[in-house]
Amino acid sequence: MRTNHHGNGAVIRALLAENIHPDAEAALTRFGPVMIERLDGAPDAAALTARLDGVQLLGIRSRTRLPKDVFANAPDLLAVGCFCIGVNQVDLAAAQAAGVPVFNAPFANTRSVAELTLAAAVMLMRGIPRKLAAIRRGEWLKSAAGSHEVRGKKLGIVGYGNIGSQLSVLASGHGMHVYYYDIETKLAHGNARAMASLDELLALADILTLHVPSTPQTRNMIRAAQLARMKPGAFLINHARGDLVDIPALTAALESGHIGGAAIDVFPTEPASKDERFESPLLAFDNVLLTPHIGGSTEEAQAAIGEDAAVKLARYVFEGSTGKAVNFPQLEPGPLAPGRARLLSIHVNAPGYLSHLNEAISGAGLNVAAQHLQTQGQTGYAAADLEGGLPDGFLARVQAVPGTLRARLLNGG
Ligand code: NAI
């Protein structure tokens, strides 16, 4: 069993690996004192375990793997922040079983993707990829024929989520007519219009752009039949996931000229590092704008990731909030009022736990001013704001409640 009792000046230690953006530091200390240590590069599990003694918060990016063993050997670890989008590098189930919530920053690069997509729309409409390829060969393609403004053109957005809706606003500002298709009902921004089906959107878009996740339904969602439904000369943008588009079908549609050009940032197979060569049949086309999966890669996005993940860690430590954790029951008990103590209990999700916990609380003569409980899978997470003087040994009594995995107390001062 693990315990933590802090508040009233006890300093939390955080270890940040992999050159996490400096903005994370101010965000981590926003709600209370945190001592920050840094670790160069991506440590392996053994090196990491050696550094985690007495560390409550761990920040990593995508290259540090956190297998089960790390959680088994880090009794002080309270929470993990993935300062990136993906969380595949972490054994999330092991983290949950150890009572460790894991946070990430999934939407911090939304704006970066939306901006690049708008830029790609402008580039494609003006025929820039072809002109750029030609001028590098010393050819001077000065004609206005086939070059257009985006103003007044129809942009078709597939997936009106964070990125799709942000793009919608930017594109409207450029005078484009925005149409979208989403499987969920989404509120239209500005004059954007929802389409009832993908086919309707395909038929009207001058530029079709994909902003859906990779799911069994979206895999190869743009194949020969969908490309054939698009207007002759229309453009395709994929800045979302590499498996959404059937590349041989797109290659054929570019060869025939039915598709006027494309901007592709993500591919079915991508080089694992800069030492590996990129191969794609799309390299053969002058009218295709290719980028190496950098839709979300900007310094601003890195700073936003630093802020977002760090604030989530700080809120967990100082308030007990697990809001937006990727592996944990979601609880947002809010700031702790002065004069109260907050008991946080991570426990096995089993019948009767809460009544036993409340017996321990009332047995200590404490009043419950507020109480929250959420469960996910095998794990339950409860927060109780308590009034009255905490008797000696109270935390030990909570730990003795059968099913308690971890318990800690925050003090409102
Ligand atoms: P989101 O989850 O906010 O939005 C996705 C939208 O797609 C949702 O509204 C959802 O209802 C909709 N959707 C799901 N299945 C659909 C279907 N079959 N047909 C139509 N709509 C469907 O995601 P967000 O943040 O907007 O990201 C969109 C995509 O962009 C994701 O694939 C993400 O991985 C990718 N991305 C790419 C980056 C890059 O570097 N190129 C960086 C960041 C995100």
- Does residue 147 share a domain with residue 251? yes
- Burial 265-300, CB ≥16 within 10 A → b, else e: bbbeeeeeeeeeeeebebeebebbbeeeeebbebee
Q: Kindly state whether residue 329 falls inside one of the protein's structural domains.
A: no
Determine the distance separating the centroid of ligand 1 and the alpha carbon of 65, expressed in angstroms. 25
- Does residue 239 share a domain with residue 250? yes
Domain with 359, as residue range(s), is 338-413
Active site residue 241: yes
- Does residue 146 share a domain with residue 226? yes
Going by pLDDT thresholds of 50, 70 and 90, the confidence category of residue 5 is: very low
73 vs 348: CA distance, rounded Å: 20
pLDDT tens for 140-188 read 999 999 999 999 999 999 999 999 999 999 999 999 999 999 999 999 9
Position 350 pLDDT exceeds 90:
yes
- Does residue 259 share a domain with residue 116? yes
Answer yes or no: are the C-beta atoms of 150 and 121 closer than 8 Å.
Answer: yes
Going by pLDDT thresholds of 50, 70 and 90, the confidence category of residue 11 is: confident
pLDDT given for residue 10 in this prediction: 65
> What is the strand order of the sheet 193-194 is part of?
193-194, 177-181, 154-158, 207-210, 234-238, 259-264, 288-290
- Given 270, 276, 300, 359, the catalytic residue: 270
Position 3 pLDDT exceeds 60:
no
- Does residue 234 share a domain with residue 133? yes
Per the prediction, the chain carries an average pLDDT of 95
Q: Kindly state whether residue 158 falls inside one of the protein's structural domains.
A: yes
Q: Kindly state whether residue 317 falls inside one of the protein's structural domains.
A: yes
pLDDT given for residue 404 in this prediction: 97
pLDDT tens for 60-69 read 998 899 999 9
Using CA of residue 350, residue 320, residue 306, residue 263, what is the dihedral sign?
positive
User: Which numbered atom of ligand 1 lies nearest the CA of 164?
Assistant: 26
pLDDT given for residue 1 in this prediction: 44
pLDDT tens for 305-343 read 999 999 999 999 999 999 999 999 999 999 999 999 999
The residue from 290, 309, 329 where one domain ends is 290
- Does residue 102 share a domain with residue 24? yes
Determine the distance separating the centroid of ligand 1 and the alpha carbon of 64, expressed in angstroms. 25
Position 253 pLDDT exceeds 70:
yes
- Does residue 122 share a domain with residue 103? no
pLDDT tens for 96-110 read 999 999 999 999 999
Q: Report, as an integer, the average pLDDT of 258-278.
A: 94
Q: Kindly state whether residue 211 falls inside one of the protein's structural domains.
A: yes
Answer yes or no: are the C-beta atoms of 177 and 191 closer than 8 Å.
Answer: yes
DSSP tag of 293: S
Domain count, the chain: 3
Active site residue 356: no
Query: Are β-strands 34-39 and 12-17 bridged in parallel, bridged antiparallel, or unpaired?
Result: parallel
- Does residue 359 share a domain with residue 306? no
- Does residue 308 share a domain with residue 227? no
Position 13 pLDDT exceeds 80:
yes
pLDDT given for residue 330 in this prediction: 97
* 55 contacts: CB under 8 Å, gap ≥ 6: 13, 14, 15, 37, 74, 76, 77
- Does residue 225 share a domain with residue 84? no
Q: Is 152 exposed, middle or buried (0-12, 13-18, 19+ CB in 10 A)?
A: exposed
Determine the distance separating the centroid of ligand 1 and the alpha carbon of 213, expressed in angstroms. 4
pLDDT given for residue 27 in this prediction: 96
- Does residue 165 share a domain with residue 41? no
Going by pLDDT thresholds of 50, 70 and 90, the confidence category of residue 410 is: very high
Q: Which two tokens stand for residue 327?
A: 């592996």
Active site residue 293: yes
- Given 241, 315, 340, 406, the catalytic residue: 241
Question: pTM (2 decimals)?
Answer: 0.86
Q: Which helix (H) or strand (E) holds 155?
A: strand 154-158
- Does residue 170 share a domain with residue 127? yes
Q: What percent of the chain has pLDDT over 70?
A: 97
Position 2 pLDDT exceeds 70:
no
User: Which numbered atom of ligand 1 lies nearest the CA of 294?
Assistant: 40
CATH number for the domain spanning 405: value is: 3.30.70.260
pLDDT given for residue 139 in this prediction: 97
202 vs 195: CA distance, rounded Å: 10
Q: Report, as an integer, the average pLDDT of 382-408.
A: 95
Position 232 pLDDT exceeds 50:
yes
Higher pLDDT, 411 or 262: 262
User: Which numbered atom of ligand 1 lies nearest the CA of 107?
Assistant: 25
CATH number for the domain spanning 41: value is: 3.40.50.720
User: Which numbered atom of ligand 1 lies nearest the CA of 85?
Assistant: 43
The residue whose C-alpha atom lies closest to atom 30 belonging to ligand 1 is: 240
pLDDT given for residue 9 in this prediction: 47
Higher pLDDT, 41 or 126: 126
| Ligand 1 lining (C-beta closer than 6 Å) | 107, 109-110, 113, 158-164, 181-184, 186, 211-213, 215, 217-218, 239-241, 265-266, 293, 295-296
Q: Kindly state whether residue 330 falls inside one of the protein's structural domains.
A: no
Determine the distance separating the centroid of ligand 1 and the alpha carbon of 275, expressed in angstroms. 29
pLDDT given for residue 7 in this prediction: 43
**Ligand 1 binding pocket mutation candidate from 117, 208, 211, 264 (most atoms within 8 A of CB):** 211
Q: Measuring CA to CA, how many Å separate 150 from each of 153, 168, 210, 386?
A: 5, 13, 18, 60
Determine the distance separating the centroid of ligand 1 and the alpha carbon of 377, expressed in angstroms. 26
DSSP tag of 99: T
Determine the distance separating the centroid of ligand 1 and the alpha carbon of 50, expressed in angstroms. 38
- Given 13, 65, 293, 397, the catalytic residue: 293
